[in-house]
Amino acid sequence: MKTIAIIPARGGSKRLPGKNIKLLGGIPLLAHSILYAKQHDFINEVYVSTDDEAIKQVALQYGALVIDRPQQISGDLEPTVSALKHVLESIDRSVENVILLQATNPLRPKNLLQEAFTIFQEKQVDSLFTVSRSHHKLGKITNHKFIPYNYEVGQRSQDLEPLYYENGLLYITKASVILNNEIITKDAFPLEVNHPFANVDIDTQEDFDYAAYLVGKFQI
């Protein structure tokens, strides 16, 4: 039984055209996730799912296998699980585990994936995903009135009840779960990652500029 990595990378980004092949630290954005996956010997194959020829050529250049994604599952509103399921249904392999690496989260702590995969195996869960703690004072606006959600007015930030957000750094899921149209299951293990890289999710030029700053800061 095999463990594979899948990196979905559509073309046609509207807010940052060509973002998946835009150079970050001297290499295409997509290449960061490919090279990260290829550093781990428990990953048998690295796949890129794309509908874009330029992205396909970059993926092949950096040693990934490419699955051509049909247009009917390449739209803006199509869930990521559709691309993952299509890859599994397109390859003639017996796959046990799928590691999802999003191209738009290109920076990850070096030892994170090894740590995550070890926990995934030890906990014997069907899926694992990374989260980070939020230190924001959150609230809702109802009838033009701000209503605090996770704090009381005047409360210090360090005394907030811990809340966490899905940071998108990585996901590990049983292939059988994906074939059932899921990625995160009810028993999914939330692996806490509090690192500057967890704040990078590239959708705009400002996001890209912040990632470039971190590449320089951490000399990646």
Residues serving a catalytic function are: 156
Tokens found for residue 48: 């890129």
Quick one: residue 26, left, alpha or beta (phi over 0 = left, psi -120 to 50 = alpha)? left
In sequence order, the 6+-apart residues with CB closer than 8 A to the CB of 196 are: 214, 217
Residue carrying structure tokens 């149209």:
181
Residue 67 and residue 87 in contact, taking contact as beta carbons nearer than 8 Å: yes
* DSSP tally for the chain: helices H, then strands E: 6, 11
Q: Please report, to the nearest 10 degrees, the dihedral formed by the alpha carbons of residues 165, 14, 215, 53 taken in order.
A: 110
Q: Compute φ and ψ for 186, nearest 5 degrees.
A: -65, -30
C-alpha to C-alpha distance for 192 and 114, rounded to whole angstroms: 14
Tokens coding 96? 């046990």
7 secondary structure, DSSP code: E
